[in-house]
Amino acid sequence: MYKKDRRTKEGDNKEGWPTNIKTKTLMESKLQSEVSERTLNIHDINFIFEAQAYIRKGGKTGAETGMHDDRVIALGITLMILEDHKKVMHRPKRRAHGTKHFKTRSR
């Protein structure tokens, strides 16, 4: 996934997920709402263990000391990519500049 805002030209064209405080907070919020609303069927017991050990400490979030959070972060990023993909897929198609739209007649 490439992240660059087309309007502001902010970001870069590097492949990957831009992890910063803003995107991580959005990702955590999305994951928390999906889990609490039970829109996901999670069958991976290791994910559940990691999610239970995912904490906020000193203004930062992540796994408790000695634990892992890879599955939590991976699922969060996946949800954000899916949400971004849905926005792209539902965006109205733009006509090329200077083209006219013609209605077809019903017969």
Would you list the domain boundaries of the chain?
2-89
Mean pLDDT over residues 5-19, rounded? Answer: 66
Q: Report CA Rg, the chain.
A: 20
Split at pLDDT 50, 70, 90, the class of 45 is very high
* Alpha-carbon span 63 to 98, nearest angstrom: 54
Residue 5: pLDDT over 80: no
% of the chain at pLDDT higher than 70: 66
Angle of the 45-52 helix axis to the 70-89 helix axis, nearest 10: 100
Is pLDDT above 90 for 97? no
Q: Mean pLDDT of all residues in the chain?
A: 81
Q: Residue range 84-94: average pLDDT?
A: 68
